[in-house]
Structure 1
Amino acid sequence: MSSEPTLQQIAESVTRSVLNANDKDLEGFQKIIDESIKVRESHRNLQKLVKNYSNSMIQRS
C-alpha cells in the first residue's frame, strides 16, 4: 500500500488561508508545489539508479 495521500485528501486539507490567498501568494505556492514535484521525481530516479547499480554489482560478484 502506498502512504502517499490521494488528491482528494490533499484537496480536503487545503486551508482557508490558501483559498483566500491573493494571486501573488498563489504563484509562490505554485512554485513550491512545482519544485516539490521535481524533488519527488528526482528522488524516485535516484532510487532506480541505486537499485540498478546494486543489482549490477550483485550480478558481477
Structure 2
Amino acid sequence: MSSEINLQQIAESVTRSVLNASDKDLEGFQKIIEETIKVREGHKNLQKLVKNYSTSMIQRS
C-alpha cells in the first residue's frame, strides 16, 4: 500500500479557509508548493545519485 497522497486527496482536504483566502495568501501558498516540488525533485535526484554511487562501488569490489 502506497503512503503517497494523490491529487484527489489533496483537493478533498482543502479547507474552507484556503478557499476563502486572499490573492496574497494564495500567492504565498503557491510559492510554498513550488518550493516543496523543488525539494521533492531534489530528494529524488539525491536518492538516484546515492543508488548509482552504491551500485558503482559494488561493481568495483
Q: Which residue of 2 aligns with 1:12?
A: 12
Q: How many residues align?
A: 61
Question: CA-to-partner distance for each residue in 1:11-32, whole Å, 9 max, x for gaps?
Answer: 0000111000000000000000
- Measure how far apart 1:2 and its partner are: 2.8
TM-score (norm 1): 0.96
> TM-score, structure 2 length as denominator?
0.96
CA RMSD of aligned residues (A): 0.7
Structure 1 residues not aligned, in runs of 5+: none
- 1:11-50 correspondence runs (5 A): 11-50=11-50
Gaps of 5+ in 2: none
Amino acid at match of 1:39: V
Of the structure 1 ranges 21-30 and 2-11, higher mean CA displacement relative to structure 2 is found in 2-11
Amino acid at match of 1:56: S
1:10 and 1:43 mapped to 2: Cα distance?
A: 21
Distance 2:53 2:8 in 1: 36
CA distance in 1, matches of 2:29, 2:50: 31
% identical aligned pairs: 87
